[in-house]
Amino acid sequence: MDTVIRAAVLFVILMVLLRLIGRRELGEMEPADLVLLIVMGDLVQQAITRDDSSMTGAVLAVGTISLLTVAVSYTSFRFRRARPLLEGSPVVLISDGRLLERNMRRQRISHAELASQARMQQIAHLRDVRWAVLETSGQISFIPR
């Protein structure tokens, strides 16, 4: 039972931490972000199992985290009001060609990164963008003028 409680508590802590760290897709992660996730995984494993290398401990830990992941997904799907808390909300980065510096700072997105993402979507100048939105998935959607 100790393993289940530890897994549940650490699941909640990790969900909060990952929401605070920010949104990036795995392919867009900086090397430091990837290292952080790998190290977190190892530290969480040690904290959950307390060096318990038994098959039962591993099954309990993996089962608990899997069930909590499904529960969060179902809650997000079923209860619309819980979505912003669990998944976040889209954030507008450009409005009518104007950069929204405050939102960009909050999301830790540089002008260069935004321009690079725009070029990948065949947009030469940010002033040609009506809206740029950082989606909850970590991708940036551009709507040209």
Residue 75 and residue 12 share a domain: yes
pLDDT tens, residue by residue, 79-125: 999 888 887 889 999 999 999 999 999 888 899 999 999 999 999 99
3-state secondary structure at position 25: coil
Q: Looking at the structure, tell me whether residues 16 and 69 fall in a common domain.
A: yes
Average pLDDT over every residue of 58-83: 85
Could you tell me if 42 and 64 lie in one domain? yes
The amino acid at 140 = I
Q: pLDDT by residue (tens digit) across 10-46?
A: 888 877 777 776 665 555 666 666 666 777 777 777 7
Task: Please tell me the predicted confidence (pLDDT) of residue 40.
Answer: 73
Cβ atoms within 10 Å, residue 87: 15
Residue in the block written with tokens 């392919």: 27
The span from the CA of 103 to the CA of 136, in Å, is: 14
- Angle 41-15-28 (CA atoms, 0-180°, nearest 5)? 70
Last residue of a domain, one of 87, 117, 134: 87
Please count the structural domains in the chain.
2
The average pLDDT across 63-92 equals 86
In the three-class reduction of DSSP (H, G, I as helix; E, B as strand; rest coil), residue 144 is classed as strand
Q: Say whether both 80 and 108 belong to one domain.
A: no
Same domain, 101 and 59: no
Domain residues for 52? 2-87
